[in-house]
Structure 1
Amino acid sequence: MQVAQHGSFSETGRAANVSQPALSRTIRLLEEQLGVRLFDRNSRNVALTSAGEALLPIVERLTADFDHAFSELAQNFAGSRGRVVIGALPSVAAGTLPAAIASFRELHPQVEIVLRDHLSGALFQAMEERQLDLAVTTPPDADKFVFDPLMQDAMVLVVPAGGALDTGEPARWSIFAEHPFIAMAPRSSVRALTDAAMLQANVAARALYDCTQLATVGALIEAGLGITALPESTLRMLHGGRIAARPLVDPVFERTIGVARLADRTLPPAAQRFLEHFLKVAR
């Protein structure tokens, strides 16, 4: 392509920092491979033959495609393009994560963000199966994961608003032995936390309902069917103003929320960029 532009092997060689004999040999080998003459040569210059003129736009297109592909590849390596698959606990997916995703997209509009909300057990399984790059969840119980803590989320008592239990005063965990208990699903981080707190408080509470969705928990409480213990950050997901919360003490229990990833996996550049951004804005 440069030979056609310069009309001279010697000028092309100087521009490309290639010796004229080497350039001439390359052109000759190309002509032999194609079986056509690409340049007419004389003592002063070279000019494209009709075959060369037919080949030139193809070479220009291939060169442009290569440049474009190389540019996209470089952007992927730099983390400014690509795809990031993030898992999160439902309370986080509806809480702090959307704002972080929005601010990241402003900085990196070419990065596709996929968000999947699951309970903690499903998040760790999905990471092991490499279906997720990152998960915003509670701490893992295996050293195959790396965990960056972000925040503490205190457990609170959730009761019907305006009822006898809506006093605003701190409550002991023993209250769950005295009233119908609405529990979260066994594989959830919330259930693990409530079970641990009740064991420490020596409280035997019988769960009348096992719920997967927080909205269901909220509806049952509003209907006066029971009470529960939830992390404070989840209250926004209970939908409705007919619930109230009280601090839980003896013991005070908190869950840690952070970002988990596989220890033996190198994150894609875009995922690494999102991790750094999220840790910065969420702390």
Structure 2
Amino acid sequence: MRHPPSLSSLRLFLQVAYNRSFSEASRISNVSQPALSRTIRLLEEQLDTRLFDRNSRNVALTSAGEALLPIVERLTADFDHAFSELAHSFAGERGRVVVGALPSVAAGALPSAISSFRTRYPQVEVILHDHLSGNLYQQMLERQIDLAITTPPETEGFEFEKLMDDPLVLVCPIGSDLDEPGPAQWSVFSEHPFIAMAPRSSVRELTDAAFNIAGLSVRGLYDCTQLATVGALIHAGLGITALPLSTLGMLHSDRIATRELEQPSIIRRIGIATLSGRTLPPAADAFRRHFLQKFRTDRQSGNAGNQSILRNDR
């Protein structure tokens, strides 16, 4: 065999073998009969054997043709199956997506989005990493995650698509002297024990910035990494804090009270971050588009699922 036969010539061989007719095979394959005859002749020359016995009225497979037929059927079926699977992967219907998210996003916005995505794309595996913002960006650089739902990057090299802004609010025990109508002043944090989030967390950076703008000296207590811990400490009467409005769903809302905070108005911005210059894998891009559509639809409809997105993490 001088050269391996092409897949197109093997497909034409199948049509002639199935139809026992060059004219019918040329019609089905949408090629001219002379072109079909030339292709079969070249295929026979490549294989150095005659594949069909033919005269003016009959076409029949030779013994070599009979031996070739199941091999070509298997080859073309495997080829078609492989590219069908590949087409599903290119469409984002197969594969794996690794999503990074802030803990409050992971507990608030993502579960329903992952559930609806898995219903639509049952063959895609979804892996979730919940970390602080700095860890998420490092994991993106190391290609451990495909995308992250987090705060804006502090360095170049990333794309950031804004989803929402969320103001910081005062969080205090129900029934305390701070549990009253109307906005609170930032100075309350210098007058009461302040329960702080961990250093380098996005919330800690915001509260530190607010105290600096307001000219306050506030000593943070506990340095919590989990919002549930903050809620428990507040409920125990150990202090107060300032949190983005969207994180409140992770606290025991029946145990805490919230108030707006006066100037400076401090917000935490949340969006979808990806590496600049990197094309997302198809499954990851499908998840990104699904999450954006669900977020926007829920936000417009104002349904319960959307409220958890808006209130439980930005």
TM-score with structure 1 length normalisation?
0.87
CA distance in 1, matches of 2:271, 2:27: 58
Give the length in aligned residue pairs.
277
Using structure 2 for the length normalisation, give the TM-score: 0.79
For 1:40 and 1:282, locate their aligned partners in 2 and report how far apart those are by CA, in whole Å.
62
Distance 2:227 2:50 in 1: 72
Aligned with 1:41 (options 50, 53, 62): 53
CA distance in 2, matches of 1:57, 1:86: 45
Which of the residues 98, 110, 133 maps onto 1:120? 133
Residue 2 of structure 1, CA deviation: 2.8
The gaps in structure 2 that reach 5 residues or longer are 1-13, 297-314
Is the CA contact 2:52–2:65 (under 8 Å) kept in the aligned structure 1? Answer: no
Say whether the 8 Å CA contact 1:183–1:211 is kept in structure 2.
yes
Is the counterpart of residue 25 in structure 1 residue 42 in structure 2?
Answer: yes
Aligned to 1:142: 155
- Opposite residue 25 of structure 1, the aligned amino acid is L
Residue 300 of structure 2: aligned partner: none
Distance 2:60 2:90 in 1: 41
Does the alignment pair 1:242 with 2:235? Answer: no
Which one of the candidate residues 141, 163, 177 is aligned to 1:164?
A: 177
Rounded Cα–Cα distance in structure 1 between residues aligned with 2:44 and 2:225 = 70
Equivalent residue letter for 1:19:
L
Contact 1:168 1:245 in 2 (8 A): no
CA RMSD of aligned residues (A): 2.4
How far the C-alpha of 1:137 sits from its partner, in A, is: 1.0
What are the equivalent positions in structure 2 for 1:86-235 lying under 5 Å apart?
Answer: 86-235=99-248
Q: Percent identity?
A: 61
- Structure 1 stretches of 4+ with a deviation exceeding 6 A read none
| Counterparts of 2:15 and 2:191, CA distance in 1 | 87
SS in structure 2 at match of 1:264: coil
User: SS state of the match for residue 115, structure 1?
Assistant: strand
Q: In structure 2, which of residues 70, 76, 80 is the aligned counterpart of residue 63 of structure 1?
A: 76
Moved more, 100-109 or 200-209: 100-109
**Farther off after superposition, 264-273 or 202-211:** 264-273
- Report how far residue 149 of structure 1 moved: 1.1
Aligned to 1:267, the other structure's residue is in SS state: coil
5+ unaligned residues in a row in structure 1: which ranges? Answer: none
Aligned residue in 1 for 2:285: 272
